[in-house]
Structure 1
Amino acid sequence: MKSLHFAALAVFGTAALTGCGVEPGEGQDDASGLDVPAQEFTSPFEDTAKDSVPSVALDGRAAAAAEGVQAMALNPSLRGLVSSWYSGSVPAGATQHWYWNNSSLTSAYSVGLSPTGASTTGGCRFEVTRTWDAQQYGGEREFHFALKNTGSIACGTNILLASRERTSNWATGGLAVGESRSWTWNNANPLTATYAVGLSPSGATSTNPCELEVTRSGYAQQPGGERKFNFTVKNVGAIACQGDVQLAAVTSANASWSTGSLSPGASGSWVWNNANPLDRVYSLGLSPAGASGSTPCQLEVTQSSYQQLINADGTTERKFYFTVRNAGTLTCSGTVLLNYL
């Protein structure tokens, strides 16, 4: 088996951790929970602040067509992708707003990145800071995302658009402008699965689209051992509207390891070196452990990014960075699930 390395990074307010590998599914209940209905939270899983994005959106489908890569699924090396295209050069610190029109009404979309243009003095690093869905008047669904150059040099990235067909769906009900509503997916099994959430908004008018965003998500282990997946949907548009949740389970495992113990509010950050193949889109998840008494163990992924750097021997390497936070009130741990679409 090829050996890849992960390392704990020290960051402000972060607990430095060392991951240790575990076998997928070890000591876990593989009973399916996909037929268990989602429950709305009585105490909302509140959303966190999001970066602003440019009002002018760039057309991903047009960019892919211009590069002649409209049908990436026909390329054996890119079978898992809906499409891919190049961002162009982006200044350090700048953000782009992209959209993919005529999106599937029954899929959850995810964005991976393969940065390019690193120099010997600086890596090329990009992060997807937001994703949301819009319905245009007439019924078209658009998948939107914000892409930020979080490095120190101007460079670009290959944008990797992946999707996964839903494994369950339900209606959000009506949401007022700015209103958030939260759900939990009970018995989130198998414990090695990660989850992606798509939204199919409805209710657009001739003057305004319906825009819905998943603003936060996380995993919890209940004292009895049950794993739950929690997430919040917010109406980020200008009109009251509604939509359907498209929940997709991702079970293609790349690697997994322990977070180590995390105290309440503490974070641990890792980097996955040699993040190959370069067209792989990662789907991060968590399987918390250590719930006690009546208190659950609650963990969430707060940030992730991709980087290209030039090593001392002149070779280029893609790295995948991410941070896990203990969002609960109990010191506990969990398993990092590095899956892929």
Structure 2
Amino acid sequence: MKSIKLAALAVFGTTLLTGCGVEPGEMPVEESRLEEPSQENASPSVDTSQEEVPLVALDGRAAAAAEGVRGMAVRPGLAGLASSWYSGSVAPGATQHWYWNNSSLTGAYKVGLSPIGASTTGPCQFEVTRAWDVQQYGGEREFHFNIKNTGGITCGTNILLGWQERASTWATGGIEVGASQNWTWNNANPLTATHVVGISPSGSTSANPCQLEVTRSWYVQQPGGERKFNFTVKNVGAIACQGDIQLATITNANSSWSTGSMSPGTSLSWVWNNANPLDRVYATGLSPAGAAGTSTCQLEVTKSSYQQVINSSGTTERKYYLTVQNIGSLTCAGTVLLNYL
């Protein structure tokens, strides 16, 4: 079992747990029968945060082809990994905008990273800062995403494009430019599963594509014990349009552990050491616990990143960082689900 060390990060108001917790099978798992959940459209919300997109969009499919459909992929054809390619060198603080054209109309995509180029004096660290879906005129779906070098040295990363076929789908209806819709997936079972949302946009014109983005997602436990998966979809394009939700359910378990008690507004951070194999794409979820009375327990993964370090022994190691926040009004806890595509 991997060890856990606790260190306070007073400046950021978070706690970092290193070593990453409990190995699969060492934590009791609640068994749930897979039901046919219902979905509902919750009240719309407005999301004003928007990261600037680099002017140059890089073609991931072309990059992969140039590398011989590189499977840095140790196991080419691995289920869940659509493709992989190298980013090239990226300066500290710089962002790259990538897209994958002719994307599946019925799947959800998730990007993982395997940084390369750490030095003995500094790690190589990358983060996916945005991901959104685009429909070009004529019907082609493109999956777009931004990666950022969040470390202090120039280095690169292997980009790992994960993919899974949808478990459920429904139409968003029309969404105005800049507007957002909140959705709730009820009975988000089994309680050990995580969820990834993709969108197949529609309604593009010859002048403007349809662009829809999942800006955030979070999990809620109701007082009666029901788990819900919530997410927000925003129209980030220049025309009103719509789309079909592609909701994937991820049940491949890497590990899980308890968050411990978290008061409202509190954030806790963990690092999963030796994040192997190097072609694994993590899809982290949460199973909140402790809802009481009329109050729900609400937890959200607010940040994640991948890092490569050179250890004192000279070996390289990939690490996966994640941060969980209690976004509700009740002190409660939950289980972190480190699942993968």
TM-score (norm 1): 0.94
Q: Compared with structure 1, are the counterparts of its residues 181 and 62 closer, same or farther at alpha carbon in structure 2 (3 Å cutoff)? A: same
Deviations 1:216-246 (A, max 9, x none): 1000000000000000000000000000000
Q: Tell me the distance in 1 between the aligned counterparts of 2:305 and 2:74.
A: 27
CA separation of 1:6 and 1:56: change in aligned 2, threshold 3 A:
farther
2:40 alignment partner in structure 1: 39
State the partner residue of 1:26: 28
Q: Deviations over 1:298-336 (max 9, x none)?
A: 000000000000000100000000100001000100000
In structure 2, C-alpha distance between the alignment counterparts of 1:202 and 1:279, rounded to whole Å: 32
Distance 2:220 2:283 in 1: 17
CA distance in 2, matches of 1:73, 1:285: 24
CA distance in 2, matches of 1:48, 1:282: 27
CA contact (8 A) 1:9 1:271 kept: no
The structure-2 alpha-carbon separation of the partners of 1:24 and 1:282, relative to structure 1 and needing over 3 Å to count, comes to farther
Give matches, 1:257-272, under 5 Å. 257-272=257-272
Q: Is the 8 A contact 1:6 1:271 kept in 2?
A: no
Displacement, 1:55?
2.3
Deviation, 1:49, is 2.0
Pairing of 1:60-75 with structure 2 (within 5 A): 60-69=60-69, 75=75
Go from structure 1 to structure 2 and tell me whether the alpha carbon gap of 1:74 and 1:338 turns closer, same or farther (over 3 Å shift): closer
Identity of aligned residues (%): 70
Matches within 5 A, 1:103-114: 103-114=103-114
> Using a 3 Å threshold, how does the CA distance of structure 1 residues 322 and 46 change in structure 2: closer, same or farther?
farther
With over 3 angstroms needed to count, the CA separation of the structure-2 counterparts of 1:47 and 1:30, relative to structure 1, is: farther
Alignment TM-score, normalising by the size of structure 2: 0.94
Deviation of the 1:56 alpha carbon:
1.7
Structure 2, unmatched stretches of 5+, are none
Equivalent in the alignment of 1:122: 122
Give the whole-Å Cα distance in 2 for the aligned partners of 1:45 and 1:195.
21
Aligned with residue 2 of structure 2, among 4, 7, 11: 4
Relative distance call for 1:46 and 1:273 in structure 2 (3 A) is farther
How far 1:141 moved relative to its partner? 0.1
CA contact (8 A) 1:38 1:185 kept: yes
Q: 1:244 to 1:25 in 2, by over 3 A?
A: farther
Letter in 2 for 1:137: Y
Distance 1:27 1:256, change over 3 A: closer
Q: What residue identity is the alignment partner of 1:292?
A: A
Alpha-carbon spacing, 1:153–1:299, altered in 2? closer, same or farther (3 Å): same
Structure 2 CA distance for aligned equivalents of residues 274 and 74 of structure 1: 16
Task: Give 1:174-185 correspondences, 5 Å limit.
Answer: 174-185=174-185
SS of residue in 2 equivalent to 1:63: helix
Query: Match of 1:59, as an amino acid?
Result: D
The CA distance in 1 between the partners of 2:274 and 2:87, in whole Å, is 22
Between the aligned partners of 1:80 and 1:119, the Cα distance in structure 2 is 31
Quote the residue 2:102 is aligned against: 102
Question: Are 1:333 and 2:333 counterparts?
Answer: yes
Could you say which residue in structure 2 is the equivalent of 1:218? 218
Q: Which runs of 5+ in 1 are unaligned?
A: none
**How far apart are residue 17 of structure 1 and its match?**
5.8
Hey, what's the Cα distance between the residues in 1 that align with 2:317 and 2:71? Answer: 27
Distance 2:38 2:106 in 1: 17
Residue type at the aligned position of 2:161: L
**Aligned positions of 1:116-265 closer than 5 A:** 116-265=116-265
Cα deviation, residue 76, structure 1: 4.4
Give distance in 2, aligned partners of 1:328 and 1:53.
31
Paired residue secondary structure (2:302): strand
Q: How large is the Cα RMSD of the aligned pairs?
A: 2.0
CA distance in 2, matches of 1:133, 1:26: 37
SS in 1 for 2:328: coil
